[in-house]
Structure 1
Amino acid sequence: MDQFEEARLKAFDFIKSFESVDKFNAEQLRYYKLDRFVEAWKLKIDILDKNNQIIEVTIHLCFKFDFPLSVPILFLSSADYEKLKYIPHIDTNRLICTFDSEVTKTDVSQPAKVVLECIKRAKKIISEGIKKENFEEFEEEFISYWECNYSKSDLVLNNFLSLINPHESISSPLLINLKTQIVGFKYIIHNNNKISEKFKSYLNQQKIDYTEQNVFYFELENKNFIPPFDFNNEEVLVLLNSIDSNLIRLYESYLNNPKTETGLVLVNFKTKDNKVLIGWVNSPLTFNNKKGFRPNIMKPFEAISKYQRKDKVIRVLPETYTQRRLSIRTSGLVTQPEYKFSIAGVGSVGSHLISFLNSLNMPEFRLVDNDILAVENIGRHLLGFNSLKKYKTKGMKDYLNQLNPIQEIKTIEKSIIDVVVNEISFINETDYIFVATGKDNIDEWLFNSLKKGEILKPMFIIWVEPYLAGGHIIYLNPKNLIDYENLFKDNNYKYNIIDNKYYNSPENTIALKEAGCQTTYIPYSSQNLMLFLASVFPFITSTIINSKLDSKVFTWIGDLDFLISNNIDISDFASTSSFGKIIENND
């Protein structure tokens, strides 16, 4: 007997000492469709009803293999569910929501106590539900009840994607009907704003055809809005009339409009603490097939209000895809700063830097580079084989928009010098500029442009040495510039890790070259690049989030043992340092 089986046995023996409980055999597990669990029990419990009379209720306790590391899952029996439905915290699959497994930590040393607490919670839920003492809690799990199936014919569509933040002003939402589904979505609901334009641009880039139409929209406050929610057409009209009698007239006009292809009713449902978008569409109209009616002679509204008034509507629960929701689901914060970053140089360092910066609430990126991704680049570039022969800027834009189609990505396929001279607003409109060209002369030219007041925003200059012996960051804030020229002596950077002799003469160079002209490259591994960026990123984020004014100079120390083993001399500056150390250089 293994430890998990022993835990279940201890719990069963304990519960059996004061409750009526039996184990399901293999045949019963299959019959009740519980054979996905390693074990299940049938438990009869006593509950007080609304008249304080004792009634007997049957629940099924089901165990995963790893109990007591996991919480038992409880279901109300089918017979009792039909008698008692609908009760908060019990869905149409009869699942009793006792404890949230995502946040519940069980005491593995006391499996019987774990089961007992689940039973106590189930009794409380059922008893309060029967007495209607917890009906206000329907609101807490409203979405779950909206998407439940209340009968075999009840339908809830989950192929709608919403780009609308229900907490913002909504005026005239529109519906995109995709000719080809994308990741399971057929319809896109949007508020006809900048975000929707980004998404439509993404659809055009992916060559996905679509049509667009109006949506019937209104707001609804929760006033005893409790399940079941399997409305028919007649009940929908009663609901609309109870909100505002004018809604009926507007709904009729909307349905009868020849341009209404998919009649979507979109509701901004207000709960005590939240807002959520829900909706419905009408079942297919069948009145044209009725004897005695000529095709298309009857208006849709007349059909649903007279001849198909008992037909169920098809509920819709749009999947919300907004920056607000993504922010809450990641950082837990409702609002976060919205940054704009310029990246000059989208090679190996720049592309991976973008991946790190993208964690800052998916900022707007403006990418500058005139280079095309070649086969020899993909060993350490963020992009891969599918992006070959694309501009690196365009490849990164495609990559980022695959992650998030509504993220703003702008590109210019020119050198950063050309952009500063002719289109400087492209970078001056952003919050920070990151330079990762790896070219000393370009870095110095950009510093002088910053010094002269042409470039207006703080700048990070980032580069690495061969074999990633070291990585360097110079942070330049125009409000408090350092003496950039003082960082160099005899055209060499003062804080190089590798001895300057390798940079001063061609015969000592440690750069590598393939056959042919202009094929020289700086060797370093993708692994060490990740170590460098991961080490310095906290400094970058701290500088950005705290809007630091002081210019700074940092050096990251790479694998010095590798240099020594390959007979590469180390500079005096780095001779006493160790792998992974970050040095702030005071200049």
Structure 2
Amino acid sequence: MMDFDQLRERAFEDLAKIFTIEKTTVDVKTRLGTPKKIEQWKVTLEVPLPEGVTDFTVLVELKDDFPLSLPVIYLAEDDYEKIKYVPHIDDRRNICLFDNENIKLDPDRPAEIIKACLKQAATIISDGITGVNNGDFVDEIVAYWANVYDPKDQVFEAYLGDGIDAIAPGVHPGHLLSPAYHNVDFLMSSGSEQSQQVIAFFKTRGHKVTEQAYFYLGQIGHLVPPFYIDNRRLISYLREHFSSQWSAVKRYLNQSFGPKIFAFSLEVNGQLVFFGFYIPAIQAKIDGWRRTSLTSLNVLDTVQPSKAVARIAFKYFSQTRLQKRTDGILNTKPAYKFMVAGLGSIGSNLLSGLNSLEVSEFVLCDPDIFALENVNRHLLSFNEVGKAKVDALAKYLTFQNPFLHVHTHKGSIVDMIRSRSGLMNTMDVIFCAIGKDAIENYVLESLSEGIIGRPVMLFWVEPYLAGGHALYIRPSTGFSLKDLETNGYYRYNVISAETYADPGRQTLLREAGCQGSYVPYGKAAISLFFAHLIPELYRIIAEPPDTNIAISYAGDLSLAVAQDLQLSDFGNTLRSHQLTTNAI
């Protein structure tokens, strides 16, 4: 077992042979705000400069799990004040050494890890002082914009909507959120459809959304810290760098004494990065000024010239940005559109699997209210008991992905076919997890007669999920469930027809009351079913077959035997958790 304390001590002893080093203790606050004493190592670092080698003091901080993690290295405060505003050293004096995602550590050589970090720190200090790495400011410009350069400095975060890269300079409608969403209360939107979806998402969450105009100034060529700015310097900056917009800027400023937001952009590595300034509402009544002659520009430039201007650090709230940040690639294919009818335990968990694909639109169809007895094996939780399944799942999907279009129908799929078949026929696949032969046959008749023109998939499971089944049926093939029945029982059942026909076998459980029967199976069994089924579903969706297909899954067959359920001839050919497909 690794002895972390011993490894730290060994590293200190090795470093003491080549560096001037001493241990110190500092007080810090934990995330909960409680004080904590931590150990730092004060190291004298020799940094080569054109005028000769110069000593700098750095503080090495080791986490409890060192050498499984990199040390954090800070520049001593006095030395930071001499050289501050150089690349890769932030306002907390933290020296950004390496990209942690790309580092492979050898925990058996703890001193070598620290020496490599100290060497990199010396290089960063040297390159920063000599200007060698000034170009790195651009690569990390967002971090430098958010640094604190003065005790009066304020930096707020705001969101950028989809399509913002294409907006023209001028005044545009943005949106304020109340209360804030994770400390963000402004969305700089482009008016695109996705921006409207984000606004709808915030409203669904209960935020009050009000319009707040912002002025997009355009693109600039460069930015160099420090970025602290007061009112007078802001006015000068706007006049100098955005002279073509100055007349419009003055009109925007002077149209009211309300809050103002300015935004501009800088191209970094082929992409636009946005930055902003926030000016709060101005007190219109000021001693010595007539109300009629006072303007916002007067106040900023003359009355309150030294008041600090808050900066805005923007981050994208767009589907494109989120997809690139996670997947690493952008999907160029059209997003899927799915309908799911029957939102019980099978349908809701199917919905979760489908939602992992690139989907732009869902149609949800179910007449039922989510009941307490549904909770244990459903996607929804106790919090949604008493709500319509379609509404609760629509909200779930929207919270998972605000960029989805979700249609709901609080009725049966029969109603949908009669009244909204046009919407159904815009879907890529129609999924049915209803489990009622009569309704499924009606759906298949509609498919055969051309009322439904999209592929249909039917899903159902057997008791204790000894078997799970799915049918993929293409339009206008004339398929009927009777085509797969032998003496009234499904050909690919895992449980035998004799077991189903025997009234003494418990293939259904029953509670007191009318319509109290239910098929027994647990949530773990559902998870295993979909773990095996989903990859096959994804293949079918991506490359629609040119024939109808029956998919069968064998669950835990030992559980079926333990429940005295006889397996069918087909079931006896399967092993537990096996998935088979057959053309039909």
TM-score category by the smaller chain?
Answer: over 0.9
Cα separation, 2, equivalents of 1:31 and 1:573: 67
Q: 1:40 to 1:450 in 2, by over 3 A?
A: same
Q: Which amino acid aligns with 2:492?
A: Y
Is 1:327 aligned with 2:323?
yes
Counterpart of 2:372 in structure 1 is 375
Q: Which amino acid aligns with 1:322?
A: S
- Residue from 376, 381, 384 that aligns with 1:384: 381
> Which consecutive residues of structure 1, in runs of 5 or more, have no partner in the other structure?
none
Counterpart of 1:67 in structure 2 is 66
Q: 1:283 to 1:56 in 2, by over 3 A?
A: farther
Secondary structure at the residue paired with 1:434? strand
Is 1:239 aligned with 2:237?
yes
Residue 453 of structure 1 and its aligned partner are, at CA, apart by 2.7
Cα separation, 2, equivalents of 1:358 and 1:364: 10
What does 1:464-503 correspond to in 2, within 5 Å?
464-478=461-475, 485-503=482-500
Q: 1:218 to 1:550 in 2, by over 3 A?
A: farther
Secondary structure at the residue paired with 2:74? strand
Greater Cα offset, 171-180 or 386-395: 171-180
Map Cα deviations across residues 392-417 of structure 1 (whole Å, 9 max, x no partner): 10110122223333432111112112
Root-mean-square deviation (CA, aligned residues, Å) is 2.7
What percent of counterpart residues are identical? 31
Secondary structure at the residue paired with 1:55? strand
What does 1:199-210 correspond to in 2, within 5 Å?
199-210=198-209
Cα separation, 2, equivalents of 1:191 and 1:540: 37
Secondary structure at the residue paired with 1:96? coil
Residue 286 of structure 1 and its aligned partner are, at CA, apart by 5.4
- Structure 1 contact 282–312 (Cα < 8 Å) conserved: no
Secondary structure at the residue paired with 1:456? coil
Cα separation, 1, equivalents of 2:247 and 2:135: 32
- Structure 1 contact 435–462 (Cα < 8 Å) conserved: yes
- Structure 2 contact 323–330 (Cα < 8 Å) conserved: yes
Counterpart of 1:342 in structure 2 is 339
Cα separation, 2, equivalents of 1:164 and 1:555: 42
> Which consecutive residues of structure 2, in runs of 5 or more, have no partner in the other structure?
none
- Structure 2 contact 342–365 (Cα < 8 Å) conserved: yes
Map Cα deviations across residues 329-364 of structure 1 (whole Å, 9 max, x no partner): 322223354221111111111111111111113542
Counterpart of 1:3 in structure 2 is 3
Counterpart of 1:408 in structure 2 is 405
Cα separation, 1, equivalents of 2:178 and 2:356: 33
Equivalences, count = 579
Greater Cα offset, 569-578 or 100-109: 100-109
Residue 36 of structure 1 and its aligned partner are, at CA, apart by 5.7
Counterpart of 1:184 in structure 2 is 183
Q: 1:102 to 1:166 in 2, by over 3 A?
A: farther
Cα separation, 2, equivalents of 1:482 and 1:116: 72
Cα separation, 1, equivalents of 2:29 and 2:200: 50
Secondary structure at the residue paired with 1:444? helix
Cα separation, 1, equivalents of 2:292 and 2:482: 81
Counterpart of 1:155 in structure 2 is 154
Cα separation, 2, equivalents of 1:206 and 1:118: 45
Is 1:353 aligned with 2:350?
yes
Q: 1:298 to 1:571 in 2, by over 3 A?
A: same
What does 1:417-566 correspond to in 2, within 5 Å?
417-478=414-475, 485-504=482-501, 508=505, 510-566=507-563
Map Cα deviations across residues 86-121 of structure 1 (whole Å, 9 max, x no partner): 111111111001122344221111111111110111
Q: 1:169 to 1:427 in 2, by over 3 A?
A: farther
Residue 325 of structure 1 and its aligned partner are, at CA, apart by 2.0
Cα separation, 1, equivalents of 2:2 and 2:499: 64
Q: 1:123 to 1:405 in 2, by over 3 A?
A: same
Secondary structure at the residue paired with 1:226? coil
Q: 1:399 to 1:391 in 2, by over 3 A?
A: same
Cα separation, 1, equivalents of 2:459 and 2:174: 45
Map Cα deviations across residues 29-63 of structure 1 (whole Å, 9 max, x no partner): 23999x867532111112233x3422211111110
Q: Which amino acid aligns with 1:335?
A: N
- Structure 1 contact 375–388 (Cα < 8 Å) conserved: yes
Cα separation, 1, equivalents of 2:478 and 2:137: 59
Residue 544 of structure 1 and its aligned partner are, at CA, apart by 2.1
Secondary structure at the residue paired with 1:438? coil
Cα separation, 1, equivalents of 2:202 and 2:14: 60
Counterpart of 1:571 in structure 2 is 568
Q: 1:453 to 1:570 in 2, by over 3 A?
A: same
Higher strand share: 2
Counterpart of 2:580 in structure 1 is 583
Cα separation, 1, equivalents of 2:198 and 2:343: 24
Q: Which amino acid aligns with 1:61?
A: V
Secondary structure at the residue paired with 2:185? strand
Secondary structure at the residue paired with 1:302? helix
Q: 1:348 to 1:424 in 2, by over 3 A?
A: same
